[in-house]
Structure 1
Amino acid sequence: MNVLLLYPKFPQSFWSYDRLMEIAGLKATIPPLGIITVASLLPPEWNIRFCDRNVREETEDDWEWCDLVILSAMLVQKPDFLELVKKAHQLGKKVAAGGPYPTSVTQESIDAGVDYLILDEGEITIPLFIEAVNRGESQGTFRATEKPDVSQSPMPRFDLLDLDAYLMMAVQFSRGCPFNCEFCDIISLYGRKPRTKEPQQAIAELQALYDLGWRGSLFIVDDNFIGNQRNVKRFLRELIPWMEERNFPFTFITEASVNLAEDDELLELMGKSGFYAVFLGIETPDQDSLQVTRKVQNTRNPLVEACNKINKAGLLIYAGFILGFDGERAGAGERIRAFVEETSIPQPMLGILQAPHNTALWDRLAKENRLLVDHENQTGDQNTLMNFIPTRPIEEIAEEYVQAFWNLYDPAQYLRRCFNQCLNIRLANAKKQTMQFPLGKGLRLIAQVFWLQGIRRPEIRQQFWRQLWTIFWKKPQVLNMYLGLCAAGEHFWEYRVLARQRIAEQLHYDPLHPPMKSVSEPLLLEQAS
Structure 2
Amino acid sequence: MSKLKVLPVYPKFPLTFWSFRKALEPIGKEAVMPPNGLATVLAMHPSDYFAFHRIIDMNVEPLTDAQIKSADIIETSLMIAQEDSNNDVVDRAHFYGKKVFSGGPSPTSYPERNQEADYLIQGEAELSFPIFLEDFLSGKARRIYSEKDLDVLARNKFVKLSKGSKPLLENTPVPRWDLVDLSKYGSAAIQYSRGCVWDCDFCDITQLYGRESRTKTPSQMTSELDALIREGYNGPVFIVDDNFIGNKLNVKELLPALKQWQDKNGWPFQFFTEASMNLAWPSNKEILEGMVDSGFTEVFTGIESIDEDVLTGMDKRQNFRMSPLEAVHTIQKAGLTVSAGFIIGSDGEKPDVFEKLYQFIQDAGIVIPMPGLLTAGKNTRLYNRLEKEGRLRFETNGNNTHQLGFNFEPQLDEKFLVDGYVSLLQKLFDDKNFYDRCRTLESNLGRHPDTSKANIQGMVAFGRSLKNQLFTDGGWEYFKYLAGSSLRNPKNFPEAVTNAIKLHHFKYVTKSMAQAHGYVTKTESYYYQFEQYLKELSNDYTLSDKVSQVRKKARGILRKAEKGYKQLHEDFRSDAIQRYEVLKERLNQELEKYHLPGQESISV
Residue 304, structure 1, aligned to residue 325, structure 2: yes
Residue 22, structure 1, aligned to residue 21, structure 2: no
Residue equivalent to 1:518: none
> Take 1:299 and 1:443, find their aligned partners in 2: how far apart are those partners?
39
Task: Provide Cα deviations, 1:218-272, integer angstroms capped at 9, x if missing partner.
Answer: 1011010011111111100111121122221111110000100011111110111
> Take 2:522 and 2:390, find their aligned partners in 1: how far apart are those partners?
24
Change (3 A) 1:148 1:239: same
Identity of aligned residues (%): 36
Residue 226, structure 1, aligned to residue 245, structure 2: yes
TM-align CA RMSD: 2.2
Residue 501, structure 1, aligned to residue 515, structure 2: yes
SS, match of residue 317 in structure 1: strand
TM-score between both structures, scaled by the size of structure 1: 0.91
Tell me which of 98, 119, 135 is aligned to 2:138: 135
SS, match of residue 97 in structure 1: strand
> Take 1:43 and 1:211, find their aligned partners in 2: how far apart are those partners?
22
Tell me which of 333, 358, 362 is aligned to 2:354: 333
Residue equivalent to 2:56: 51
Structure with more relative contact order (C-alpha pairs < 8 Å, separation 6 or more): 1
Structure-to-structure mapping, 1:436-515, within 5 angstroms: 436-437=454-455, 441-453=457-469, 455-457=470-472, 459-461=474-476, 463-504=477-518
The AA in structure 1 aligned to 2:324 is L
The AA in structure 2 aligned to 1:498 is S
Work out which of the two has the higher radius of gyration on C-alpha atoms and give 1 or 2. 2
> Take 1:66 and 1:97, find their aligned partners in 2: how far apart are those partners?
15
Unaligned 5+ segments in structure 2 are 149-164, 529-560, 569-604
> Take 2:294 and 2:271, find their aligned partners in 1: how far apart are those partners?
8
> Take 1:349 and 1:458, find their aligned partners in 2: how far apart are those partners?
23
Residue 170, structure 1, aligned to residue 200, structure 2: no
Q: How many aligned positions are there?
A: 506
Residue equivalent to 1:261: 280
> Take 2:320 and 2:291, find their aligned partners in 1: how far apart are those partners?
24
> Take 1:509 and 1:365, find their aligned partners in 2: how far apart are those partners?
31
Task: Provide Cα deviations, 1:318-342, integer angstroms capped at 9, x if missing partner.
Answer: 1001100012111212211111011
> Take 1:319 and 1:477, find their aligned partners in 2: how far apart are those partners?
25
> Take 1:310 and 1:477, find their aligned partners in 2: how far apart are those partners?
21
**Cα offset, 1:138, TM superposition:** 5.6
Structure-to-structure mapping, 1:33-432, within 5 angstroms: 33-45=36-48, 46-49=50-53, 50-110=55-115, 113-137=116-140, 139-145=142-148, 146-262=165-281, 263-373=284-394, 378-384=397-403, 385-429=405-449, 432=450
Residue equivalent to 2:571: none
The AA in structure 2 aligned to 1:79 is D
> Take 1:328 and 1:219, find their aligned partners in 2: how far apart are those partners?
33
The AA in structure 2 aligned to 1:94 is K
Tell me if structure 2 keeps the 8 A contact 1:115–1:138. Answer: no
Bigger mean CA deviation after superposition, 334-343 or 31-40: 334-343
Change (3 A) 1:506 1:362: farther
The AA in structure 2 aligned to 1:245 is K
Tell me if structure 2 keeps the 8 A contact 1:419–1:482. Answer: no
**Cα offset, 1:44, TM superposition:** 0.6
> Take 2:413 and 2:300, find their aligned partners in 1: how far apart are those partners?
30
> Take 2:292 and 2:479, find their aligned partners in 1: how far apart are those partners?
29
Tell me if structure 1 keeps the 8 A contact 2:363–2:440. Answer: no
**Cα offset, 1:299, TM superposition:** 1.4
The AA in structure 1 aligned to 2:511 is V
Task: Provide Cα deviations, 1:79-123, integer angstroms capped at 9, x if missing partner.
Answer: 10111111112221111101011111111112xx21111110011
TM-score between both structures, scaled by the size of structure 2: 0.80
> Take 1:150 and 1:394, find their aligned partners in 2: how far apart are those partners?
43
Change (3 A) 1:104 1:508: farther
Residue equivalent to 2:548: none
Tell me if structure 1 keeps the 8 A contact 2:458–2:495. Answer: no
